[in-house]
Amino acid sequence: MRGEAPLSRLNFLLPSWIEPAAMDRSKIGGVTMNVGILTGGGDCPGLNAVIRAVVKRGTQLGHGFTGIKDGWKGLLNRSTIKLDAEAVLGILQAGGTMLGTSRTNPLKSRADTDSLMKNIKALDLDSLVCIGGDDTLGVAAKLFSMGIKTVGVPKTIDNDLSATDFTFGFDTAINVVTESMDRLRSTAESHHRVMVVEVMGRHAGWIAVYGGMAGGADAILIPEKPFDIDEVCACVNRRSEAGTLFSLIVAAEGAVPKEGNMITQNGELDAFGHVRLGGVGEFLAREIEKRTNHESRHVVLGHLQRGGSPTAFDRVLATRLGVRAAELISEGRFGRMVALQGNRIVDVSLEEATGKTKTVDMELFRTAGVFFG
C-alpha cells in the first residue's frame, strides 16, 4: 500500500460528472496502490476494453499500474510494461490483448510458485487484476488464499463461467458464427449440400446454441446432450423429403456421439490439463454423406471466433467490469470477481466462482429444438 494520494490530485483527476458517492474517499478507501494487470488463457475480444477501463478508473482513484506481459508467464520472468492512461488510448475497439497472453500455470511446481511470490514482491505489486477464464481466475483465487490481493475479471468466448450471466467475448464470437451461417446458407442451398459448422466452446455448448439459433441451424449438437448420428441423418432426410435439399448443422467442438468419445486433436494436455478439441465437424460430414447420400462439407470456424474487434455489447460489458474491478481495489475488496447478474455488475467470491463449468440452459436448448429439421 502506498498511503494516501493527495486529495488535490484526486480532485483534478476526477471529472465533474463522476457521482459524488464515487468521490467520497472514505467510501473508496483512499489508498493508492501499484496494481499489476494481466490477461491469461485464450484471448478474446474485449480484453483491451477491460484494461482501458481498469486503468482509467483506477487512475481517477489514484492508483498506478504495471502491465504484466503474457499472463502468468510475465510474472514468472518479470516481464512488464508501463501502463498508464496514455498507454491505453485508442484500444477500446482493438481485438486481442495489448498485454499478450499465455496458458502458463504458475502454480504447477513449487519452484514456479516460489518465484511467482518473489517476483510479486520484487515488482512492488500491491494487488493484481487478473483477467481470464476459469484457469486464470482459479490461480487468482489460490493466490488470494496465499495472501496476495487479487481481483478477477471473467472473460471467455465460451461463456462457461458460473456466477456471471455472460462473459465478454461471447457476443462477438456468436456474431461471427451467425454471419458465417448466413454465408454458408447460400452456398449450401446452391449446391444442395449439408454443411456442418464446427464451433468452439470446449465442454459447454453456449456458442453452438446462440450461434446456431441466430443462424437458423437445422440441428445443433452440444456437449451437454450426446448426439445420435441416426437422428442427425433422419433430420437431413426429412428436410430433403419435404423438398429442402440443403441443411445447416452446428456442432460444438465438444459434442459427443452417443456411442463414442469426444473427438480430440491429439492426446496432449495443456498446463491446466485440457485436451485440444476438434474434428467432430469432419466426422459428422463424412458420416452424414455416407449414410444419407447427401453431399456434405464441414467448416471449422476455429480462431476466427476469437479474433477481431469486440461488438458494442462486449465493449460495454468489458468496460463496466473493468471500472468495477478498479473500484473493488479501492474498496479493499479482494478475492472477489466482478460479474454480470441480470443487468447489474456485482462481485462474487473468486473461490466460489471458479472450478464449475456453466453448461447450457436446457430450457434455451428446447427452444432451439423447435426449429430442428
Which residues are near ligand F6P by CB under 6 A?
42, 133, 156-158, 200-202, 253, 277, 306
Nearest to 272 by CA among 115, 108, 140: 108
Least distance from C-beta 6 to ligand F6P, angstroms? 43
Least distance from C-beta 277 to ligand F6P, angstroms? 5
Can you point out the beta strands (E) in the chain?
Answer: 34-39, 64-68, 80-83, 127-132, 150-154, 194-199, 219-221, 247-252, 264-269, 275-277, 296-300, 336-341, 344-349
Q: Residue 190 or residue 261: which is nearer to ligand F6P going by CB? A: 261
Q: Residue 272 or residue 372: which is nearer to ligand F6P going by CB? A: 272
Please name the residue that has the C-alpha cell 486433436.
265
Please name the residue that has the C-alpha cell 504458475.
106
Phi (first) and psi of residue 248, to 5 degrees: -115, 120
Active site residues: 158
Least distance from C-beta 353 to ligand F6P, angstroms? 16
In SS3 terms, 285-312 reads as HHHHHHHHCCCEEEEECHHHHCCCCCCH
Nearest to 188 by CA among 142, 239, 238: 239
Least distance from C-beta 270 to ligand F6P, angstroms? 7
Which residue type is seen at 295? E
Find the distance separating the first CA and the last CA of the chain, reported in whole Å: 61
Please tell me what DSSP assigns to residue 155: B
Least distance from C-beta 169 to ligand F6P, angstroms? 8
What are the angstrom distances between the C-alpha of 249 and each of 46, 71, 151, 233, 288? Answer: 28, 36, 40, 11, 11
Least distance from C-beta 303 to ligand F6P, angstroms? 6
Nearest to 65 by CA among 80, 50, 75: 80
Q: Residue 126 or residue 160: which is nearer to ligand F6P going by CB? A: 160
Lookup: cell for 138: 482459479
